[in-house]
A and B are shown apart, each in its own frame.
Chain A
Amino acid sequence: MKIDHTQPLEYSTQQNQLNIFGFWIFLGAEIMLFATLFTAYFIMENRTGNGPTGPEIFEIGPVLFETFILLTSSFTIGLAVHAMRIGRKKAMLAFLGVTLLLGVAFLSAEINEFVHYYHVGATYQTSGFTAALLTTLGTHGGHVTLGFFWGVCILIQVMKDGINARTANKSFIFSLYWHFLDVVWIFIFSFIYLKGLM
C-alpha cells in the first residue's frame, strides 16, 4: 500500500480515497431510499383507517429529546474526526464513545416511543398510516442500530491499532454515515412530527 503523506490519513492511499468516494455515492442512494419512505408517508399520512391519527399519538417531549440527542451525537462524531486529524487518539476515542452512548440513548428513546404507540393502539398492522410511520422510523432506527455496532467495531480497532491509514479511513466513513443519519432525522423531525403536530 502506497501511503501519500501529504494527505490527511483517511485519504492517504488510493483505496482510502475510493472508499470515501464510494461511500458518498452510497449516501446518494440512501437519499433516495428515505425519499421513497417519505413519499409513502406523505401519501399514507391521512389514511388512518380505524386507527389513530398522527396528532393523536405524537408527543413533542420525547421527540425533542431524540432530536437533541442525535444532534449532539452528530456534533461529537465531528469532534472525534477532528481529534483524529490532529492525532489525539484518546480524545478521539472519548468522542467516539460518547457518540455511541448517545446513539444508545436515542435508540432507547425510540424503542420507548414504539412501546407507547403500541399501547395507544398504533401497531404495525393498524393502518396504512401506522405502517408507513413505523417503517420510516424503523428504517432510520435500524440504520442507527447498525451504525452503533459498526462504531463499536471501529472503536475496538482504533484502541488496538491506534490512528493509522486504515482506522482513520474507517472512522471518517463512519462519521459520514452518522452525520447522514442526523440529516435524515432532521427531515423526520420536521416533516413527520412537526408537520403532524402543527
Chain B
Amino acid sequence: MKLKGTLLLLLSMLVVFLSGCEPLLVLDPKGPQAERQASDIMISIGIMAFIVIVVMVLLVYMLVKYRASRLPDDYEPPHIEGNPILEGILIGVPIIIVAILSFITVKSNYIVESTPEGYEDQEPLVIYASSSNWKWHFSYPEQDIETVNYLYIPTDRPIEFKLYSFGPITSFWIPQLGGQKYAMADMVTTLHLAADTPGEYMGRNANFSGKGFAENTFTVTAMTQTKFDEWVDEVHETAEPLTEDTFEQLLEPGHLGRMTFTGTHLGFSPAPEHEHSDDEMDSGEEHKMHAEKEREMHTEHAAHE
C-alpha cells in the first residue's frame, strides 16, 4: 500500500500547491484571458481528481477484498461475461464528462481567440512581437517605438499581439496574462491579451529554438495609461532611431539586454502578413507576367549552357 500512500500524499500536496500557499504563475492570472484559462484548469482538475479518486477507491477495494491470501484455498473465481447495463454506465458517464468539458472548451476557444471580455468597446493596442535567435523585438506602430527584450503595456486596454519570427518557430508566452501562441517565419499569428493590474510579469519563448533557448525571455511591465504615455514621450525624447543596419545587427544570433529605439522595423522589414492572400488562386496578371519573365530568363540561361 506504499504506492497508494505516496499517491494520495502527492495528490494532497498538489491540491495544497494549487490552492495557493504560493500561487503558481498560471493559476495567478492578471488578465481576463489567463483568468479564463485558469478557471478552465481548475474545473478540469476538480473533475479529473474525482475520476482518479473513484478509480483508486475501486482498485483498493478489489485488491483488499479479493487478494488470494484472504480467500479460502478452494475458492474458484466465477466466469463472468460483460454486463451490458454496467458497461453502458461505464461508457455513459465518461461521455457526459467529456461533453461537459467539450462545452467549456469550445466556449473558451472562442473567448481566448477574440478581444478580451470587458474590453470589447476599446480600440486594441497593436504590438508586433517578433523573435530572432534568441531575442524578442516589440514594435509599437501606433507609438512608433521599438523595444528589445522588454515590453511595456498599458493596463485596462486590450492588446493585440501580431507574432512572427525571423528564425525557428518560437512561442510567445506570458503565463500570467494568457496562454502562448507560435511565432513563425511565413505567417503572422494573432494573440489577444489584456492586463487588469499593473505589475511586472515574466514572458518567454516557450518553444525550443536552439542553443540560446533557455535565456530567450523578456519582462512585461503593465502600467496605467498615463504612465504608459509618459514612457512613450520619454522614449521619443531619448532613444536613437532604428535603422536598417542596426536592425540587421540585432538579428544576429546571440543575446542582448534591453534596448529601445524610435521607429519600427516594419517599414523596411515588414511582417509576413499578406503572404497568404498573395498565394490565392486568383493571383492575377501581375503574377503571371512575373512568372513569364522568370521563365524567359531560365530558357535563356539554359540556352547559354
Contacts and interface: CB of A to CB of B under 8 A. Distances in A.
- Let me know if chains A and B touch directly in the complex, using CB atoms closer than 8 Å: yes
Contacts of A48: 279, 291
A97 B287 CA distance: 47
Interface string B183-197: 000000000000000
Contacts of A5: none
Chain B interface size band reads: 10 to 19
Contact of B291 (A47, A56, A118): A56
Contact of B299 (A46, A53, A120): A120
Contacts of B291: 48, 51-53, 56
Given A46-B279, A47-B279, A53 B287 contact: yes
Interface in B228-266: none
Interface in A55-112: 56
Contacts of B113: none
Interface in A157-182: none
A148 B155 CA distance: 70
Interface residues of A, number: 12
A50 B294 contact: yes
Interface of B is mostly: helix
Given A53-B287, A56-B288, A121 B280 contact: no
B283 interface: yes
A127 to B, nearest CB: 11
Contacts of A50: 290, 294
Contacts of A118: 302
Interface in A25-62: 46-48, 50-53, 56
Interface of B: 279-281, 283, 287-288, 290-292, 294-295, 297-299, 302
Interface of A: 46-48, 50-53, 56, 118-121
24 contacts: A46-B280, A46-B281, A46-B283, A48-B279, A50-B290, A51-B291, A51-B294, A52-B291, A52-B294, A52-B295, A53-B283, A53-B287, A53-B288, A53-B291, A56-B291, A56-B295, A118-B302, A119-B299, A120-B295, A120-B298, A121-B295, A121-B297, A121-B298, A121-B299
